[in-house]
Structure 1
Amino acid sequence: MISLPMYDVWPEDTQSLTREIQHRLRLQGFADNETRRVRPGDLLAHWQSGRLLLSQACGYPLVTRLRSVRTVGCFHYTAAGCHGPQYRSYFVARLADRHKTPEDFSGQRLVCNAPDSQSGYNVWVSRLTAEKPLTGFFSAVSFSGGHRHSLQAVRRQSADITAIDCVSLALLKRHFPQESEGLVIVGESPLTPGLPLITAGNTSDQQLVLLRTTLQAIVSDPSCRPLCDRLLIQGFSAIERQAYPAVPGAI
């Protein structure tokens, strides 16, 4: 199974890249049933499947709940805030609060995309809980189910601040510019390893090499450049699991 569920802001582009990966993996000798494209509902179950050939996960569940998978690597993104295979989160509030820092939002309302998100939740744990839990720093902590929904909550004044990774924010600004109207970045997190591309723990060393070779070939092929540009992808690096414990607060 292969999927790219994490930056699926514009599904047509995501599916085009998934089809390109599928096609090239079949040329490398992978069977049709191994390269079946899926749109997973339960991401954790999908990532833990022994039939997983390639997917994109989040660094926080990688080090906390996905201990059996193998890391393939990371895409490099052109979004502001990225550096090579690393990315960061932006702390976003309403324009009226543009002069504040994240620490100035004590006693106000935080909205996060999910409690297992590095970019939307764990960045707050890493930044603030040296002093007190998030529920002690903020008057309320809610979960929206997605970065786009978190931005909407801040815009509609049902929350006061959120954190969103820089790639998601750039893609949303490109395709849905109205989602960030009236919002402003009031801070940023340190760089961390980007969203890991993963494969099942039973994937062989030879298959892992083929996966990495295929992804490198796609980002280097001029014929794929227009598609990669639409997804803000400009490169690929093979990255081992050992890079991820350095993510602040992840383990």
Structure 2
Amino acid sequence: MTAATVAGAASLPMYDLPEIRWATDALWSAVAARLAAAGIAAPPALSRGPTTHELWTDPALLLSQTCGNPYVRHHRDRLRLVATLRYAAPGCDGPRYRSQLVVRADAPGDGLADFRGAVCALNSWDSLSGWVALAAALPEPRFFRGALVTGAHVDSLAAVVEGEADIAAIDCVTHALLQRHRPGALAGLRVIGRTAPAPGLPLVTRRDADDATVEALRSALRGALADPALAEARAALLIEGIEILGEADYDAIPPLPVSTPPQLSAPSRRSATAPAP
């Protein structure tokens, strides 16, 4: 089979820490080579410049990774599910994951209920792991006194460390990656609980991709994730494999909260991280 002459767009933005981009790039190179062998042109390099909205709405999208909540609320009509990665991180269960509830090590309180009236830090109101899952765990709607919207999980952690916020819900894969590759980001913090499990961040393609393209993507992913030559890259990324979830699985994502705490002014930070899930 002859590969298409125009390669589609590809991105893996959600856990793209600078420290492990070598591994993400190695994984993508292996996937792209397998796609080419199946007759599907793939770009030699991942897109990293555009915003996630631009990545996910690109009419030429071949493969990307999105957050479950934006997928369900905003992009279901333009994205098609390909697969969900399985990660080897505390809080993950197959293709499902949780958020770690993180506070300062010296903060009084042993559970979420002890932080009534606190300030929470969150990466975005649209984030499943940073806000929607946390809101679903709250005992009452007006639980927090206020919220800092930081733009990234690592910046939410910094806000808690520096006393600008008291608690944050951090995607457990992000938490595990930081613990391994950037432990200083977690210094002075402790975990007091976890949110309920939710379907993990899905790999997606454009909605009008045909069945043959989707099957080729899945086959390329399976092949790359079973390749012994990529063992080091998989270990760095904490990736174990893929599972195929359906749209009904993502319908289990909690509904949007009926109210949000007052948004407080957050200090400006320039985080060297990927878009946070």
Q: TM-score, normalising length from structure 2? A: 0.84
Q: Which moved more, 1:239-248 or 1:177-186?
A: 239-248
The runs of 5 or more residues in structure 1 that have no matched partner are: none
The runs of 5 or more residues in structure 2 that have no matched partner are: 1-8, 258-277
Q: 1:45 to 1:228 in 2, by over 3 A?
A: same
In 2, are the aligned partners of 1:93 and 1:162 still within 8 Å (CA)? yes
Which whole-Å CA distance do the structure 2 matches of 1:51 and 1:80 have between them? 35
Q: 2:149 aligned with 1:140, yes or no?
A: no
Q: Deviations over 1:120-139 (max 9, x none)?
A: 010122122x632xxx3212
Structure 1 consecutive aligned stretches of length 4 or more whose deviation exceeds 3 Å: none
Instruction: Please name the residue that 1:177 is paired with.
Output: 183
Would you tell me which structure has more helix in proportion to its own residues?
1
Cα RMSD, aligned residues only: 1.7
- What's the secondary structure of 1:17's corresponding residue? helix
Q: 1:46 to 1:216 in 2, by over 3 A?
A: same
Q: 1:3 aligns with which of 11, 30, 40?
A: 11
Instruction: Please name the residue that 1:155 is paired with.
Output: 161
- What's the secondary structure of 1:74's corresponding residue? strand
In 2, are the aligned partners of 1:78 and 1:232 still within 8 Å (CA)? yes
How many Å apart are 1:81 and its aligned residue?
Answer: 1.0
Amino acid at match of 2:16: D
Which whole-Å CA distance do the structure 2 matches of 1:177 and 1:165 have between them? 15
- What's the secondary structure of 1:92's corresponding residue? strand
Q: 2:197 aligned with 1:188, yes or no?
A: no
Which whole-Å CA distance do the structure 2 matches of 1:250 and 1:22 have between them? 36
How many Å apart are 1:25 and its aligned residue?
Answer: 1.5
Instruction: Please name the residue that 2:128 is paired with.
Output: 118
Instruction: Please name the residue that 1:86 is paired with.
Output: 96
How many Å apart are 1:32 and its aligned residue?
Answer: 4.7
How many Å apart are 1:208 and its aligned residue?
Answer: 0.4
Q: Within 5 Å, which residues of 2 pair with 1:48-63?
A: 48-63=57-72
How many Å apart are 1:249 and its aligned residue?
Answer: 2.1
Instruction: Please name the residue that 2:37 is paired with.
Output: 27
How many Å apart are 1:14 and its aligned residue?
Answer: 1.9
Amino acid at match of 1:25: L
Q: 2:224 aligned with 1:218, yes or no?
A: yes
Q: TM-score, normalising length from structure 1? A: 0.93
Instruction: Please name the residue that 1:229 is paired with.
Output: 235
Q: Deviations over 1:105-147 (max 9, x none)?
A: 111111001111100010122122x632xxx321211111101
In the alignment of these two chains, the number of paired residues is 246
How many Å apart are 1:40 and its aligned residue?
Answer: 4.2
Amino acid at match of 2:184: Q
Instruction: Please name the residue that 1:106 is paired with.
Output: 116
